[in-house]
Amino acid sequence: MVPISRRMRCCLVWFRVTFRVTRRHCTTCRVCRRKRRVTRHPCLTHGWWGQFTQLGLDTFTHSFTLQYPMGRGKNFTGRNVYAILRASRGSGTEALVVTAPYRPPAALLPGTAPSIALMLAMAKFFSRQVYWAKDIIFLVTEHEQLGAQAWLEAYHSPQPLFPSQPNPASPSLSLLLSGDLEGRAGAIQAGINLEVHSAEVTHLDVKLEGLNGQLPNLDLVNLIHRLCQRENVPHTFKNRADHPRPESMEGWRHQLTTLLSMVTSQASGVPTGNHGLFHRYGVAAVTISGSGREAGGGVGVPIRARSISLQQVGRVLEGVCRSLNNLLEKFHQSFFFYLLPATNRYISIGVYMPPFGLIAGGVLVKALALWYKTSCADDSGKGRHSLLQWAPVVVGTHATCFLLMTCPPTLTRLGLAFDLTPEDSVGLGLTACCVALLLVAVGAAR
């Protein structure tokens, strides 16, 4: 299970983005106009449901609830819509997922309506082909990563025998109640998350980093870059295209910057897209994103007279899906730990780990030297130090850390008294604790 701290981070970041917005009511349908504070949009899900069902796919909705632990402890609900294209000649034991996050028109992040349109077009085209050996699941999620996480949890957890029974695998401290899925396909082999923001994009950016810095198999990344190359679609990593002269000094610097930006995003532990939640279930997934001209091109991407049309993006995705269809096993041949300085170069763990090992070895050598020095000094000292004198420090440190870990809900309730938002109250409270501890430490040192 993910430690609570990361879930908090997830909640904090994305709630700020989505839930503030969804507190306004949607004005498009009669149902929503009547309610003041509405947190879901049934009209849109019905629209997509209709579209997918018309194509002949098995369409389902999935509801999930988030029990927000901080502040007043409200419950927020969300809905995902997913449609399964069953392979008519396949055995149905494996599946691929093509997903897109739904963003309401007033969201802070760029809209993904073209992604959903692309998904619908893909579904229509794929449903007419005979060469599918795996089922394809088209998933539209709500509330960014929460929807994707809820769906994945529900997909991979055992379903209760009777609908009225509670889910046997639900954790005791449940923040995200993922509910049950009505329909399911086989084991998921790979996932593609689409975040195409405009009908005419300048380039396709492939995002890899997942939760806690986990990465998909390098084969999937190489596949997408190769297909983009074949279809003459400019492709970037970290919004930076490959330098034309990588062996020159500028090329090296360009690649170093790309590498460092990948390292920083991995170090933050925050997934760069919904794909990051798939990795914990052993599914290789990436996000393919593209923006229009107004977002500015990527670094080093040549400005072309014509942008990439949705049809070209669709061709790349069709190639990706067909290549994934040809697979017989899950991705396991290539690397899971790597660093990419460019779209066509990689540094595997076998190359970047030895220098880190040597650095750590230096620290170890220093520690051994210190121990040796102190043990030599011990012979001249008066008695043996017992370890017990350090026990209060150890216990005290652990207790302080435990308190810090469990304090955010309390802090938010305190903050309500001062009319602070939960994020502010947690931030201020933790900063205050840190300062207090520093003062205590300084005082104790004296």
Partner 1 sequence: MRLQELAMIDGGYWAQTGSLGVGEATWRINMERVATALRSPWHTLGASYTLESGAHLSPPPPACSLRITARVRLASLVTSCPGPLSVVYDQGVSETSEKTHTNNWAVLVDTSRFWFNYRHVANVLSMYRSVKRLGIPDSQIILMVADDMACNPRNPRPATVFNNAHQHINVYGEDVEVDYRGYEVTVENFVRLLTGRLAPSTPRSKRLLTDDGSNILIYMTGHGGDGFLKFQDSEEITNVELADAFEQMWQKKRYNEILFIIDTCQAASMYEHFYSPNILAIASSLVGEDSLSHHVDPAIGVYIIDRFTYYALEFLERVTPDSKKTLAQFLQVCPKRVCISTVGVRLDLYKRDPSRVLVTEFFGSVRNVELTTRVLDLPKCGGSRQVAVNKSVNTRSSKATKPLHYASQLPLHHS
Residues that bind partner 1 (CB under 8 A): 87, 89-91, 129-133, 322-323, 325-326, 328
State in angstroms the smallest separation of the CB of 235 from partner 1. 20
Q: Please, what is the minimum distance in Å from the beta carbon of residue 193 to partner 1? A: 23
**Bridge partners (DSSP) listed for residue 27:** none
DSSP alpha helix (H) spans, 23-143: 30-34, 42-54, 113-126
Residue with tokens 């997408």: 224
Instruction: Return the closest-CA partner of residue 258 out of 338, 341, 344.
Output: 341
DSSP three-state, residue 193: strand
Question: Which CB, 61 or 323, lies closer to partner 1?
Answer: 323
Q: CB-wise, 129 or 157, nearer to partner 1?
A: 129
Of 130 and 363, which has the nearer Cβ to partner 1? 130
Provide, rounded to whole angstroms, the least separation between the CB of residue 115 and partner 1: 25
Question: For residues 134 and 143, which CB has a smaller minimum distance to partner 1 in the complex?
Answer: 134
Residue 21, class by beta-carbon neighbours within 10 Å (0-12 exposed, 13-18 middle, 19+ buried)? middle
| CB of 325 vs partner 1, minimal distance in Å | 6
Which residue in the block uniquely carries the two structure tokens 């089922």?
Answer: 135
**Which tokens go with 82?**
């997913």
Closer to partner 1 by Cβ: residue 21 or 327: 327
Least separation, in Å, of the C-beta of 334 and partner 1? 16
Q: Which of 116, 273, 146, 165 is nearest to 210 (CA)?
A: 273
188 in Cβ contact with 282 (< 8 Å)? no
If the CB atoms of residues 111 and 186 are measured against partner 1, the closer one turns out to be 186
52 CA to centre of own chain:
26
Using CA atoms, how far apart are residues 97 and 155, in angstroms rounded to an integer?
Answer: 12
Least spacing, CB of residue 328 vs partner 1, in Å: 6
Give whichever of 269 and 319 is closer to partner 1, judged by the CB atom: 319
Shortest spacing between CB 132 and partner 1, in angstroms: 7
- Using the minimum distance from each CB to partner 1, give the nearer residue, 62 or 134: 134
What type of residue sits at position 306? R
Cα atoms in the 13 Å half-sphere on the side-chain side of 95: 22
First to last CA, the chain: 42
Q: Minimum distance between the CB of residue 399 and partner 1, rounded to whole angstroms?
A: 57
* Nearest approach, Cβ of residue 128 and partner 1 (Å): 12
Nearest approach, Cβ of residue 322 and partner 1 (Å): 6
Instruction: Please say which residue, 131 or 372, places its beta carbon nearer to partner 1.
Output: 131
- Name the nearest CA neighbour of 148 among 212, 214, 66: 66
Q: Which is nearer to partner 1, 186 or 251 (CB)?
A: 186
Query: Between residues 262 and 324, which has the closer beta carbon with respect to partner 1?
Result: 324
- 245 within 8 A of 251, measured Cβ to Cβ: yes
- Minimum CB separation from partner 1 for residue 126, in Å? 12
Q: Spell out the residues 6+ positions from residue 356 whose beta carbon is closer than 8 angstroms to its own.
A: none
| 3-class secondary-structure state, position 364 | helix
Q: Check: CB of residue 230 under 8 Å from CB of residue 319.
A: yes
Q: Which two tokens stand for residue 320?
A: 């990706």
Q: Rounded CA gap, 96 and 81, in Å? A: 16
In the three-class reduction of DSSP (H, G, I as helix; E, B as strand; rest coil), residue 413 is classed as helix
